[in-house]
Chain A
Amino acid sequence: MSSCKNLKEKIISVIFSATGAIALLTLMGIFIFLFTTGIKAFSHLSPGEFFAGREWNPAAYQDPKWGILSLLISTAMITLGSLIIAIPLGIAAAIYLSEIARPSIREVVKPVIEMIAGVPSVVLGLLGVLFLAPAIADLFNLSSGLNAFTSSIIVGIMVLPTIISISEDVLRSLPKEFREAGLALGATKWQMIRMTLLPAGLSGLAAATLLGLGRAIGETMVVLMVAGNSRAMPTSFFDPIRPITANIAIEIKEVVKDSLHYQTLFAMGLVLFGLTFLINFISDLIIQKQVRKYQW
């Protein structure tokens, strides 16, 4: 009888491990599909042509061009622009929520900020196209507000909740002793925050930034609608840009299965996958270090 029970337990335990395996299999599956399709592009193109080519024009009048440099730079610009907005605002807000605000305010403000994360990106893109872009065009006397600047603002807003909530967690979990020691030495609260907490939590904050970075790289709908989508190499933040995510979203609909164009889009997807994998890896390392240092 007890062996029957043991068998049942074993089966249940295996079933649960199988569900765990599914997550692993999925990640591997995504990589495999991206890789096997994307790598075929390189049987026709050289990596140099792909990564360093300055022109992306698969539907060209004469010879198609497959260089993704301007797309990579566009992705870099949107990432940079959105982080310039989100990091200062995010960390400032995290400091406020963690160290300064009354618990009752924190209770209300935190869920509100979480809700921004819940607003669908297509809605933010819509508001960007209809309201923000014309306003910015008027403000800066531009012919059109669909450019890197406007889209950076919106993506920055989208990334903000991530940075705020992780940074706030990081700061809150620093041991009480840090604060007490700083204040006991006669420092003002701000001095204590600046000289004790922030340095201590620096790696955690860096991890939060990296996660924000990952989100910014991966944003698709907002840039699709607001970034202007011109293929030219951007020269300023007021130029229209065409990040990799938007390019894939636009062109995937027109490609014939297994054509070179199809394969190059998957190759681009592989690049994105690699970037986000790398970012996650680095932020993991940072968090491990932080955990070991402060025994969370």
Chain B
Amino acid sequence: MVKTEMISENSKQNIVFMITRAATFFSVVVLFLVFMFVFMEGAAVININFLTKMWSHSDIRQGGIFPALVGSVFLGMGVAIVSIPIGIGTAIYLNEYAKNNLFTRSIKLAIRNLAGIPSIIYGLFGLSFFVLFLQLGTSLVAASLTLGVMTLPWIITASEEALKAVPLSFREGSYALGASKWQTIRGNVLPHSWSGMLTGSILGISRAMGETAPIIVVGATFFMSYLPTSPFDKFMALPYHTFILATQHSSQYARGYALGTALVLICLTFILNLGVFIIRYKLRKKKEW
């Protein structure tokens, strides 16, 4: 009796486990399909010209996405400048200085909420605050601030984890030697956590560079005859460029070019992610605790 029950339980288990395996590999397959579809038609379009020339409107086969690449890179730098110092600072505060009181709890609540706010709401906020209220206009700086604020919770969380990973004993040892709080942080905690903070920041920036909705509202353009040179210039950006090639362009080649731009965007994100993965892997081998 027991044996037959066990057998049917076993076969149930096998089926269930197969299902879970399938579910997991579904996710992997999806990622693979995404790359494949984008690559199929997008790769044909990519060559040195595509990557380095200015966008030509009249014949898109002549021009390239250079201004969009430049715009995206500048945007990434802008986001880094805005969000990394504040993000790391907040993480240090929360992990090293904060006491468990209302102020701290409110900050933590705020961070969790900021992480959940839809990107278009950041667009609305960016429009009403940075573009209109502060009169920065639709520009690189307004977009950097908007995306920077959006990336903040991500960087704070990643940096906090990096700080938490440093054992308490490191700090205690330093205090025992008579060092002050800041000396301890600077000398014993940060050196061991900066790589985690770095990788978290890179991931955050790469997410920001892929965002489209907020920049539609705060500064990206369809066509520019020049490269942005000041933070107050407008800019072209890879995700917005992909979007308009998909929906607005009238050339019959637009479809291939949309996929090509998408491919460049994915590769950029992929390279950043890969870099983070490699850094993490190497460091895990080095860590002694």
Is the CB–CB distance between A120 and B121 below 8 Å?
no
Chain A residue at minimal CB-CB distance from B96: A16
In B206-243, which residues have CB < 8 Å from any A CB? 206-207, 210-213, 216-217, 239-240, 242-243
Residues of A within 8 A of B152 (CB): 23, 26
Residues of A within 8 A of B123 (CB): 248-249, 252
Q: How many Å lie between the Cα of A190 and that of B12 in the bound state?
A: 8
Residues of A within 8 A of B180 (CB): 5, 9
Residues of B within 8 A of A224 (CB): 213
Q: How many Å lie between the Cα of A244 and that of B132 in the bound state?
A: 23
Question: Which of A15, A120, A126, A214 touches B258 (beta carbons < 8 Å)?
Answer: A126
In B267-289, which residues have CB < 8 Å from any A CB? 269-270, 273, 277
Question: Which of B21, B37, B90, B265 touches A19 (beta carbons < 8 Å)?
Answer: B90
Q: How many Å lie between the Cα of A248 and that of B259 in the bound state?
A: 26
Q: Closest Cβ of chain A: how far from B79's Cβ, in Å?
A: 14
Residues of A within 8 A of B113 (CB): 27, 276-277, 280
CB-CB contacts of A79-100 with B at 8 A, as 1s and 0s? 0000000001110110111001
- Interface stretch, picked from A28-36, A48-56, A172-180, A232-240, is A28-36
Question: Which of A26, A161, A211 touches B116 (beta carbons < 8 Å)?
Answer: A211
Q: Which of A27, A115, A122 has the most CB of B within 10 A?
A: A122
Known: A218-B118, A220-B120. A126 touches B262 (CB 8 A): yes
**A184 within 8 Å of B by Cβ?**
no
Range for the number of chain A residues in contact with chain B: 35 or more
Is the CB–CB distance between A112 and B210 below 8 Å?
no
Is the CB–CB distance between A160 and B27 below 8 Å?
yes
Is the CB–CB distance between A19 and B20 below 8 Å?
no
**A147 within 8 Å of B by Cβ?**
no
Q: Closest Cβ of chain B: how far from A19's Cβ, in Å?
A: 3
**A76 within 8 Å of B by Cβ?**
no
Question: Which of B12, B34, B112 touches A280 (beta carbons < 8 Å)?
Answer: B112
CB-CB contacts of A119-151 with B at 8 A, as 1s and 0s? 111111111011100000000000000000000
Q: How many Å lie between the Cα of A113 and that of B240 in the bound state?
A: 25
Q: How many Å lie between the Cα of A102 and that of B8 in the bound state?
A: 25
Residues of A within 8 A of B188 (CB): none
CB-CB contacts of A22-64 with B at 8 A, as 1s and 0s? 1110111110011001000000000000000000000000000
Is the CB–CB distance between B106 and A34 below 8 Å?
no
Top-8 shortest CB links A-B: A218-B118, A120-B210, A19-B89, A92-B23, A96-B20, A190-B13, A16-B93, A27-B110
What are 24 A-to-B residue pairs whose CB atoms are below 8 Å? A13-B181, A13-B182, A20-B90, A21-B107, A23-B111, A24-B107, A30-B122, A33-B133, A92-B20, A92-B24, A96-B17, A100-B21, A122-B239, A122-B243, A123-B38, A123-B210, A126-B243, A130-B246, A160-B30, A191-B9, A248-B123, A248-B124, A272-B120, A277-B116
- Chain A interface residues (CB < 8 Å from chain B): 5, 8-9, 12-13, 15-17, 19-24, 26-30, 33-34, 37, 88-90, 92-93, 95-97, 100-101, 109, 111-116, 118-127, 129-131, 157, 160-161, 164, 188-191, 211, 214-215, 217-221, 224-225, 245, 248-249, 252-253, 257, 265-266, 269, 272-273, 276-277, 279-280, 284
